[in-house]
Chain A
């Protein structure tokens, strides 16, 4: 089914403007606004699922009927629809969760508005077929996320928000600079035409500079080491559903997706950029994992683990780029499949983990693992969902994380890079150990005196967590069932393996 693409941006944008106005009308209107926000995210999810069943491989929407390159276009291809799906799932769950969770805070309407702005920005980034529009949507999502990180207005939250904002803005400036360089060298801002121009002329130093700026800028948004320093501050400071959004999809759409689009579809892959991504990915994986298992703050541990997991995704994509450039198409597509599948998996289980951490924090009032213990009895659902997510992220077989890691390892071994396979496996072991630590200190052991009376918060929070846990358990099917793989993952992989076809397809339409 073909869906008019601006809908994906319009729904959340309209919601963002009208929800605060509506909430001003009184108590009942407030809860109605929350309901509407939920409806908006759910409808986005439904649309994203419907978009999977579209008739053509690639769908181009020209805004205002201005044909490209004069007008602005939106492009929906396999990769975009994969990301839309991830955004839909995570934002639906996070919104459901915040319905109950955000009762703790004042100014819920503002929260809803910012949330919707962030969703609009992310959907826009994913769909944009124009470099400058990509930047605009990136800024919308980023600014909303800066504000959401500082939403609680406590000392740590403000500090984190400021640091995040400084680093994030510098990254945005890098990106804008890069876009300027691309425009200066190719004379167009349309991604398809830029791609065509770059690949007929070849890279000159100006474009290489632009590529470097993109890698640094988007790398910062994706929190790759050494650009990661804002993430462990920002993600734990945000309210739990926002942490889930940030770790689950924001770093992937603004960072990994944008970077991938640039490298594969516009600049074209080469061995150098491939290896650069591989190294960035590996360093992130190892550093993130080591930093994570020394943490005693539940959410900070999760945040560092996000760095490590994004490393997996980038490693998979970088490996794919390297192998593509060397001409090993089969292994390259396997590596890319692993990377993208891990991206989706990580979106689901990391957001679930952040939601469970929110549930724990709401019940116990603390994030410190050392002050918890024995919560398994008191918070049975939180415990179960957290265990499923942990098993998934650690790569215990029937759960989703195992399959994506397996594919990555197989791709590395198939390409003859045994040491990379060994590092992947090693980091996976570190991940296992850090989540065992969470289980051990938070959920097992002895219940402290002051937590004897706590209760689990149920209702919509529970629904959100169970939804994601079910997904975690069965997402392995995405790769195991041929039909699902052919609808969801393979189109996305094809977009990247034949990256330069993007220009041909878009211009041809």
Chain B
């Protein structure tokens, strides 16, 4: 039995990768084959991931490389956390494959697109199953590279976004590599399950910070988040839904949990504060930026950043409930953000634009999309009884519990973290009010009169995800107690939600909503008939276009506030973008070096002579 499981582990990882790699080179004429293959294989892998989920600790071992003292062995191991996340990663992979069947990106360059999707699925399965850090890094980079390829399918303007994403994530991969090798130097092994290091020496702290950089860059937390909104703008939405919204989060947070819980034994000190500050700052800053965005995909991308803050904060709290909350939030976020991106994609595909100014009133035209989007938006804003609320609540509880351990310096600051988290939640709600208003409510622009609902292939995944939002919200104890607690090996000390009773609350909320509807109905019946006339202004009929209340104006006051205004401007110009600043620094240095290479031969000859002299001194001095 064990043997067959092992083989299936290999199939899960390598079949999608090999087929994906081969599909990358398939001729552009073949449209159907990549689709069929991708669908079959992602379904197969999803099935396998369910099957794998029923096993504990089966492994596959293959010593790949041994040179000198370097042992590089591929170890695939079914681990509680890994198999749990694998289940969802493969699920998202399948959903997106289905959704893409009708989308533009999935049709034009189908070989490249589906090839990369399969590479992503295989790569993430590899990351989640393998026990060797170096192989994890290899799979990790494969996922990065396939993100690059996927973004390039987004058409003419996606090249900058693709470059930026790959450069930034590539930088974090470099940090990952260094961190992994430092770990190896410290502990002499690359096996994740065998490493446990105290963060007391300088080397181990540096290693921790390097690995943390890799994790938070992939997940998209500050300060290395800027690839996310850039790619959000020009990448196909299905890509955004698959990678930055879902799988990248799952992987990044998986790695963060690993390093915080398994690989390192964190001393509650400076490192916890670093993590908490990253978490809190990410929540607040990203949501502030998100509020003032005018582009649907950009807005969603900033929220994808902001939500990472919650997960990081939950993990930083280092309390069982907080970590469980962080992981649950990761899952929830993947669900609702994936759903939101898919809705956004549907809207963009049907209307041809993602600018909020040019959208409006689509609620009646695309009711299913509206419903899914509304549920997901409420969920991300933390409205009970949806899943976003539950996980945020768990994180709050984790923070409060963390405050109970007075000793640690990070714990003493707990009110700060808690306030940041709650305030962030409120701002999230605010910006989604704007989103929903400008897309689905508001007034329908004239050029969007003929919009239709998307095809079933697209709305089924959306509604499925929305349904999952509701299910995980009301029956939160199913995922929390059946999936997350065993995955993290936590026995709950406190009840997940304190005194929260979801059943009762749901009933109350439903009653509330019914009451509200009743009032609306009664009010509508009682009210007098309203006379509808054209708008007049100075004796002339005014064009209706100008009488709109655009959602994009909602938070203009915030962005024009003194102090904040300069910050927003700087942010727009990329002053806070490490990629831009790094680019400037690099080009400055390059300009100097290029100036030195002036094309004058005597100068070059002088370098040669000086070089010879220096070498001469070095070699003759010693001997």
Contact = CB atoms under 8 A, between A and B. Distances in A.
Interface of A: 163, 166-167, 170-171, 174, 203-205, 208-209, 211-213, 215-216, 219-220, 226-227, 229-230, 232-233, 270, 272-273, 276, 287, 290-291, 293-294, 330-331, 333-334, 337, 374, 380, 384, 391, 394, 396-398, 402, 406-407, 409-410, 413-414, 416, 418, 421-422, 425-426, 428-430, 432-433, 436-437, 439-440, 444-446, 479-480, 485
Given A290-B586, A334-B68, A396-B141, A209 B594 contact: no
B457 to A, nearest CB: 28
B interface majority secondary structure: helix
B68 A227 contact: no
29 contacts: A163-B604, A171-B608, A208-B620, A212-B612, A212-B619, A215-B619, A229-B608, A230-B604, A276-B615, A287-B593, A290-B593, A291-B593, A294-B593, A330-B69, A331-B68, A331-B69, A337-B67, A396-B141, A397-B138, A402-B138, A407-B67, A422-B178, A430-B586, A432-B167, A436-B162, A436-B166, A440-B162, A440-B163, A444-B162
Contact of B163 (A212, A439, A485): A439
Contact of B590 (A227, A230, A293): A293
B590 A444 contact: no
A446 B587 CA distance: 24
B623 A410 contact: no
Interface of B: 21, 25, 28, 64-65, 67-70, 134, 137-138, 141-142, 145, 152, 156-160, 162-163, 166-167, 170-171, 174-175, 177-178, 181-182, 184-185, 203, 586-587, 589-591, 593-594, 597, 599, 601, 603-605, 607-608, 610-612, 615-616, 618-620, 622-623
B23 to A, nearest CB: 13
Nearest to B582: A433
Given A205-B623, A334-B70, A293 B586 contact: yes
A484 to B, nearest CB: 12
B67 A479 contact: yes
A167 B604 contact: yes
A461 B464 CA distance: 51
A422 B556 CA distance: 45
Nearest to A163: B601
Contacts of B184: 410, 413
Contact of B616 (A209, A272, A331): A209
B594 A291 contact: yes
B597 A273 contact: no
Given A208-B619, A334-B68, A410-B70, A384 B25 contact: yes
Nearest to B589: A290
A399 to B, nearest CB: 10
Contacts of B170: 394, 429, 432-433
B601 A166 contact: yes
Most buried by A among B68, B587, B616: B68
Given A212-B620, A226-B607, A174 B612 contact: yes
A269 B181 CA distance: 27
Given A334-B67, A398-B142, A272 B618 contact: yes
Considering the complex of A and B, which 9 residue pairs feature the smallest CB-CB distances, nearest first? A294-B590, A444-B159, A229-B604, A216-B612, A226-B607, A397-B138, A413-B181, A212-B616, A226-B611
Contacts of B159: 439-440, 444-445
Contacts of A273: 619
Given A219-B611, A333-B68, A337-B67, A444 B158 contact: yes
B597 A291 contact: yes
A229 B604 CA distance: 6
Contact of B607 (A229, A406, A418): A229
A162 B353 CA distance: 57
A204 B586 CA distance: 44
Contacts of B28: 380
A226 B610 contact: yes
Contacts of B64: 480
Contacts of B174: 425-426, 428-429
Given A226-B611, A229-B597, A330-B69, A421 B181 contact: yes
B145 A227 contact: no
A216 B608 contact: yes
B607 A391 contact: no
A430 B582 CA distance: 11
A342 to B, nearest CB: 14
Contacts of B171: 429
Given A232-B597, A291-B594, A480-B64, A226 B608 contact: yes
Nearest to A216: B612
Contacts of A485: 67
A270 B619 CA distance: 10
A173 to B, nearest CB: 11
A293 B584 CA distance: 12
A425 B65 contact: no
Nearest to B144: A396
A445 B159 CA distance: 6
A380 B26 CA distance: 11
B67 to A, nearest CB: 6
B605 A166 contact: yes
Contacts of B138: 397-398, 402
Chain B CB count within 10 A is highest, among A204, A213, A425, for A425
A213 B612 contact: yes
A428 B178 CA distance: 12
Nearest to A397: B138
Contacts of A233: 599
B136 to A, nearest CB: 11
A203 B601 CA distance: 35
A406 B64 CA distance: 14
A394 B589 CA distance: 21
A166 to B, nearest CB: 6
Nearest to B608: A227
A350 B587 CA distance: 24
A398 to B, nearest CB: 7
**Most chain A Cβ neighbours within 10 Å, of B608, B615, B616:** B608
Contacts of A384: 25
A479 B65 contact: yes
Nearest to A232: B597
Contacts of B177: 406, 409, 425
A433 B164 CA distance: 9
A156 B69 CA distance: 50
A410 B612 contact: no
Contacts of B156: 374, 445-446
